Structure 1
Amino acid sequence: MFLQIKDTSDLVKIIDIQELIDPNIDIVHGKDQEGQEEQDTDSFLKENLVFPSGENLPRCWLDANYRKATAN
């Protein structure tokens, strides 16, 4: 799966989807897709990533307590 870094619009290939959808994990491991050669794996804050369309990640992927916040 590819996501985009908010500030730079660079694409990142996510290594572990489970890591991405787990709201208790703040970072994901991926490979920046710059240049023609495969880049080394790096860590990215989930809050700095969006879908390539520009849409934000689902809140349930970022906040483990998202249900409590919407109940109020």
Structure 2
Amino acid sequence: MLLQVKDSGELVKILEIKELLDPNSNIVHGREQQGEEEQPPDTFKKENLVFPSGEVLPRCWLDADYRHDKG
């Protein structure tokens, strides 16, 4: 799955989808997609990632307590 870094617009290939879906994890491991050579794995904060369309990640991927109203 490809996501985008909010600030830079760089694309990131997510290495472990389970990590992305886990609301108890605030980071994911991925590889920046730059040029034709594969980049080394790196960690990315989920809060800094969006879908390539610009849409934010689902709250249930970011917040383990998403079912409780905080308002």
Q: TM-score range by the shorter chain?
A: over 0.9
Distance 2:69 2:23 in 1: 14
Deviation at 1:69, TM superposition (A): 2.3
Q: Report what 1:28 is aligned to.
A: 28
Distance 1:69 1:14 in 2: 30
Q: Which consecutive aligned stretches of 4+ in structure 1 deviate over 2 angstroms post-superposition?
A: none
Ranges in structure 2 where 5+ consecutive residues have no aligned partner: none
Ranges in structure 1 where 5+ consecutive residues have no aligned partner: none
Task: Identify, as 1 or 2, the structure richer in helix.
Answer: 1
Q: Report what 1:47 is aligned to.
A: 47
Deviation at 1:35, TM superposition (A): 1.9
Distance 1:61 1:9 in 2: 20
Deviation at 1:36, TM superposition (A): 1.5
* TM-score normalised to structure 2 length: 0.96
Q: Report what 2:68 is aligned to.
A: 68
CA RMSD of aligned residues (A): 1.0
* TM-score normalised to structure 1 length: 0.94
